[in-house]
Amino acid sequence: MPLEHALQFRGKYADPGPWKLPRSTPVRLQEPLGIGHLPAQRVRRSKRKPYVFNLMVVGDSGLGKTTFLNSLFNAPLSEDAAKQPKKPLAETKTVTMEPTTYELVEDGVILHLTVIDTPGFGDQLNRESDFQPIMDYIDTQYKKYHECERSDSMRKDIRDTRVHALLYFIPPTGNGLRDLDVEFMQHLCTKVNIIPVIGKADALMHEEASTFKKTILKDFTKYDIRVYPTHHSDDRETVTEIEKHMPFAVIGSDEFIEVNGKKVRARAYRWGTVQVENPQHNDFVFLRDMIIKTNLQDLIETTHNVHYALFRSSKIRGSMVGRPEALLQSDEVYDQQVEGAQLTAKQEMQRKEEELKEAFVAKVKAKEAELRDREEAFNKKRMQLSDEIEAMRRQLSEN
């Protein structure tokens, strides 16, 4: 943070000194002020402006990505795209980016959802360059956001087109990650929140799916693939429960089938039905709850505070080529000096407090000793006077 501040503002503005928050003094309120209503005020204020969430979906054709999105948001998001005829393999030249924005409303909360589909991924015979258009798209959105931040006219109302989450669909082969999967996630895991998903999980038996998940998790460790939320989420309370189901083995369906008198999303087979929202059949509900109910805001904040911050730092460093490194790190040095001075002052204050305590204790002990001596002298004087009075009384009685 100090170095980033120096890179952004060095040479433009006077050095304001340390920009950390000042120390605060706790105050005990005697009567309520209404501070407890601030969260409710923030909620009301946040409802006025639509939330923005950008979701990218990547995976081979035929893994049910479109159907899964319709099931995830319980709305026909991609009906038109599903009706379009697919291009033959020979005509697929490169991966294309197709963002589509939808407005979802629930309980007065508006969500502007942008779904970025990536048709053509994995369809080419030469798949080495499949991830390059996706990387370029993500970097382009970061560049646009960075340019808006630097513009005085656009900084107040930036349209966020950055990719907040990337659902990567893994085919249900049961043999671990393919070379394409490894290479893609290795290149993208430091740029975006990757959420691994096993598509068409009904093609695997329960035992097969469990073994397949363990193999994939071992591959993540082996190839240092950082997925969300394990490596990026700040909300560790929910991560432990989420990790039990990763990678998420899911199915989707546009059909509603009556089961026990209730219509549910399901896929019908000769041997029975597979229900989309049944946690015993697949991990759909766990993935949906993570994306929407528990971690949507965290995905947005992680994109800004981790991935975009890394991109912005690299851009700022690139623009400072040729400047002395000592100048770029001047604020860091200053901050270290301030912290060192504060630590020294704190230690000196503690030392003086100890000296004052020792001096005070010594004075109290001396005063107590003096009082004891006076008390002993007083008692001796009193005993002496008592003896004299007793002697005078005996003398008078004898006379």
- Clarify whether residues 268 and 397 are in a common domain: no
Instruction: For residue 200, tell me if it sits in a domain.
Output: yes
- pLDDT recorded at residue 122: 72
Within a domain: residue 328? no
Which of 260, 287, 321 is at the close of a domain?
Answer: 321
Q: Are residues 66 and 121 in the same domain?
A: yes
Residue 299, domain CATH? 3.40.50.300
53 plus 161 within the same structural domain: yes
- What is the 8-class DSSP label of residue 35? G
- 169 and 221 belong to one structural domain: yes
Instruction: Answer yes or no: is pLDDT of 295 > 80.
Output: yes
Q: Given this model, what pLDDT does residue 12 score?
A: 52
Residues 84 and 208 in one domain: yes
Measured distance CA(238)–CA(294) in Å, rounded: 8
Q: Which two tokens stand for residue 16?
A: 């304001």
Band the pLDDT of 82: cuts 50, 70, 90: very low
Residue 15 lies in a domain: no
- Asked whether residue 148 falls in the same domain as residue 77, the answer is yes
Residue type (1 letter), 320: M
Q: Which of 294, 321, 348 is the last residue of a domain?
A: 321
CB atoms within 10 A of CB 252: 22
HSE, side-chain direction, 13 A CA sphere, residue 193:
29
- My answer on whether 216 and 259 are in the same domain is yes
Of 321, 348, 376, the last residue of a domain is 321
Residue 360 lies in a domain: yes
Cis peptide bond N-terminal to 279, omega within 30: no
**Do the domain assignments include residue 13?**
no
190-206: pLDDT as tens digits: 999 999 999 999 888 88
Range of the domain at 198: 45-321
Considering its fold, how many domains does the chain have in total?
2
Q: Are 203 and 240 within one domain? A: yes
- Cβ(185)–Cβ(227) below 8 Å: yes
**Domain check: are 290 and 355 in the same one?**
no
One domain for residues 279 and 159: yes
Let me know whether 154 and 183 are in one domain: yes
379 found inside a domain:
yes
Q: pLDDT tens for residues 5-21?
A: 555 555 555 555 555 55
**pLDDT higher for 11 or 395?**
395
Q: Are residue 343 and residue 308 in the same domain, yes or no?
A: no
4 falls within a domain: no
Confidence of residue 43 (pLDDT cuts 50, 70, 90): confident
Q: pLDDT-derived band of residue 138, with 50, 70 and 90 as boundaries?
A: very high
Least confident among 98-102, 216-220, 356-360: 98-102
Q: What is the pLDDT of residue 234?
A: 64
260-279 per-residue burial string, b: 16 or more CB within 10 A, e: under 16? eeeebbbbeeeeebbbbebe
- Looking at the DSSP bridge assignments, the partners of residue 272 are 269
